[in-house]
Chains A and B, each alone.
Chain A
Amino acid sequence: MISRNSKSFSLSCRVNGSELEREIPSSRSLLDFIREDLGLKGTKEGCGEGECGACMVLVDGLAVNSCLMMAVQLQGKELVTIEGIKGKDGGLHSLQKTFLAEGAVQCGFCTPGLIIASEALLRRKPDATLEDIKLELTGNLCRCTGYEKVLSAVEKARRK
């Protein structure tokens, strides 16, 4: 039985393709771990209670709200943040390109979460329908673009 009977925990995981070992406070949220400990500021804090999707990341390929997870739950798993979403050539990912091309970004605060959620869907279902995309993005709030351009961007990325 592994017990960390102290205020810290020895975390071992993969972050954006690299192995990582770090002593962290047991009470650290995954969101704080990403932003404050790892300095990866692309993941945003919005509502802090799992409703807006701005803090979304991939854990073992599944989209999750990092504000609702503890960092210790990452033990032995793979984390991908928006900084780890790249094209095959190391440049922009196809979703990032279509978001730009469609004008699906306004203030940009929700965009990392939208890209992460869309990426999770397209990995799982490359032929996702518009209905699938709408369902997948119900956990992402955008107060600027009105979603039409976002949906269009994900549809176009699907074809690439």
Chain B
Amino acid sequence: MTRASLPLKIAALGGLAFLHIPLLFILLYCFTTEERSYAFPPPGFTLKWFAVVWSRADIWAAIGLSLKVALVATLLALVFGTLAAGALARARFFGREPISLLFVLPIALPGIVTGIALRQAFGLMEIPFSFWTIVIGHATFCIVVVYNNAVARLRRLSPSLIEASMDLGADAFTTFRLVVLPNVGTALLAGGMLAFALSFDEVIVTTFTAGQQSTLPIWMLSELIRPRQRPVTNVVAVLVIIVTFLPILAAYYLTREGEAVAGSGK
């Protein structure tokens, strides 16, 4: 490792600052007394917007819906993503490549295409918008997050561990419970957390599958287009940052530690 030159250091740290400074401004504007413009510097500071958010039923309803959707979509994604990873991690068969492409497609294609396509399908089958139409959209693009995490871990898992378990007398189900699950568990948990974060702040697909329902990002989008009490949006934005930050941080540590465990078998 060599020492970096000063311009390189400045450019690298400047780039990182660029990534984080806008988030700091959001935090700053939570406390401004100015509610009609984004005047900088804020004319004064207040804590009243937190109380306003606390008493707003529409925000709480949106948070509740977002949490419920994220939870159910994550559970579905966990089931489907794990199954897909189990099938594709090691098996070699004709058509394997196109199938793994299919699992990645929902995040590879623009969200607007996925959203409109689903909306069209719901319309065609005369399915009214509901909680479940949102969940279907979210689960579709959350599968890939779980799938990626699980596949990476399964590929690192030595296949002889499974053989050893069966060799010692465990059938397929016992082997899954006592050997496979403990070794991929943290990867699944991490994948689930990322899926949760992804679902919790998704707005594009949701726009097309929610109808009149308002998830938290939908609520925020309408505030961005037609701002009313601007600092209220800031407080909600900070809330969203916190709700997504924690699972992502947890996922990071889970996969790091998991690597150490899975790698020690060799």
Q: Do A and B form a real pair? A: no
Binding site for B on A (CB under 8 A): none
Binding site for A on B (CB under 8 A): none
